[in-house]
Amino acid sequence: MTKDVIALTPKMPNAWSLLAGLYAGGPQTTVTADAEGGVLRLCSPDGRPLVSVEAPLLVQVAGEAERLLGRDVPVPFWWTEVRASGAVPQAGPLAESVCGRLALLLGGSTWPEQAARTEVVEVPATAAPDDGQPVVDVLTGSTSVVLADRPVLALSTWLSDVLRGTARSDRALQIVTPPHVRVSAAARATLLHVPNRWVVQDADQGYYDGLSGAVLRWQNGTFAPALSADGTSTVADAFTRTSPTEERQLVVAFRTAVPANEDVVLGEGVEAAWRTLTGSPPAGWGTAEPVNLPWSPGRLTDLARGRAPEPTHLLVTGRPDRPALGWIRVTRTTAGVEQDVTLHIGYGKDEEPPLDAIAPLAEALVTRHGLTTLLVSVRRASRDLTTPPVLQAPPVPVAFTLGARDVRDIGLTHARRPPVGIRPVPLGPASAPALHYPLGDGSDPGALVTLRHLSAHLRAGVPGSAMDG
């Protein structure tokens, strides 16, 4: 199993401390770097990668270590993630010694705490060359398999790199974890995309999909559903061992489109949603977890502009007292700049999601931020926004808003008369209104059927409209 060790230090790991850490394998090991220099690899004498060391990350957002590791670490601090290959037994102790040396020299700690060792680890001369992939446990012609064991499997820089690498090589990514591991909301959204998969190791049935529950078997170099004689898949018993929760998540998904002007500032719609629903702006943003930078729409815009015309994927997080995590996809289109936003906000059993704020939020997004579509739902799920590998109820829609552009394309008369018991509320200027469709309070699953009927009605207005997305 790939072993993850993290050094959490108040001081930046400089060249000398990194050199001391990398020397944990003795003089016979060698060091290589990826093309961008963001990951160092400690290798055996013949080039086999044993340990990868990511570039130290300055975390300035409170609560990220608690959210991902269960550790209260005051900000700012440096997060240096080290990953050991599971193919060589000495790689795990080597990763521990790299982190332990950094923590000793810089006055910090390691996760896990018991991983803080400092001795030199003797490594063997192996015969497997560097295959150019990030450290993975099993690499086949179709699949990269990673075995992970940490409290929360997050969308880290390393995981993002592995996803890009597997996509370039036309492989699937399958992450295998014990049943106690949970996935962050951002990682869950990523692993939902085919052909990637979260594989959970179960003591009774072997392996199952952590998001669908399908029993899996290792077949032809990949984990695939174990089909019965009639060709159907079986759901693992462990996946159904769940109890209803009184905690909830508010899920807000919206798309905005604005002209690609020089003075455009991205993230302002996200901030408007965050302030409306939580009472404060986002705490931080970044390109991976942990989210490390203080919230700044200006810096976010600069990054996206520098990456254009390629799309930019970003994460946004909130304050520790109100769990909130969002992700943004910024794309340049013929219509301008589009931002696809998904926001999850967690609530305990005695907390009520602010459903009365949804309509005002929709109007603000319509009038000031170029709203195209907005869908708000409530799901019975953990307040901390993580997902365990058990069956969960689907989100129940609360409201849907269609922006003025698509109302115009569909036709106002058609859009305002859906074949369901909904009276849409016009938003924005009367000459070019958007329409807001209330669907319920998130407690009646029948709203899912209502939304399907509404969607079918709107799609029938103009084939090929944004509703088809």
List domains and CATH numbers for the chain. 1-134 (3.30.310), 136-241 (no CATH), 248-468 (no CATH)
| Close Cβ partners of 44 (under 8 Å, ≥ 6 residues apart) | 28, 29, 30, 50, 88, 123, 124, 125, 126
Give the pLDDT score at 230: 85
Q: Is 216 helix (H, G, I), strand (E, B) or coil?
A: strand
Distance of alpha carbon 269 from alpha carbon 206, whole angstroms: 45
Distance of alpha carbon 326 from alpha carbon 185, whole angstroms: 8
Q: Which two tokens stand for residue 267?
A: 């993230």
Give the pLDDT score at 97: 92
| Close Cβ partners of 3 (under 8 Å, ≥ 6 residues apart) | 83, 84, 86, 91, 92, 95, 96
- From first to last of its 469 residues, the chain has per-residue pLDDT tens of 568 899 999 999 988 888 888 888 888 888 877 756 677 888 888 777 888 888 899 999 999 999 999 999 999 999 999 988 777 788 889 999 999 999 999 999 999 988 888 888 887 765 454 444 556 778 899 998 988 888 999 999 888 888 888 888 899 999 999 999 999 999 999 888 878 999 999 988 899 999 999 999 999 999 999 988 888 889 999 999 888 889 999 999 999 999 988 889 999 999 999 999 999 999 999 999 999 999 999 999 999 999 988 999 999 999 999 999 999 999 998 879 999 999 999 999 999 999 999 999 999 999 999 999 999 999 999 999 999 999 998 999 999 999 999 999 999 999 999 988 899 999 999 999 999 999 999 999 999 999 999 999 999 877 554 454 4
Can you give the pTM of this predicted structure?
0.90
Cβ 441 vs Cβ 435: under 8 Å: no
| Close Cβ partners of 123 (under 8 Å, ≥ 6 residues apart) | 25, 26, 28, 29, 44, 50, 88, 90, 91, 94
Cβ 338 vs Cβ 330: under 8 Å: yes
- Please tell me the chain's helix, strand, coil percentages from 3-state DSSP, rounded to the nearest 5: 25, 30, 40
Reference 384, options 211, 148, 151; nearest CA is 151
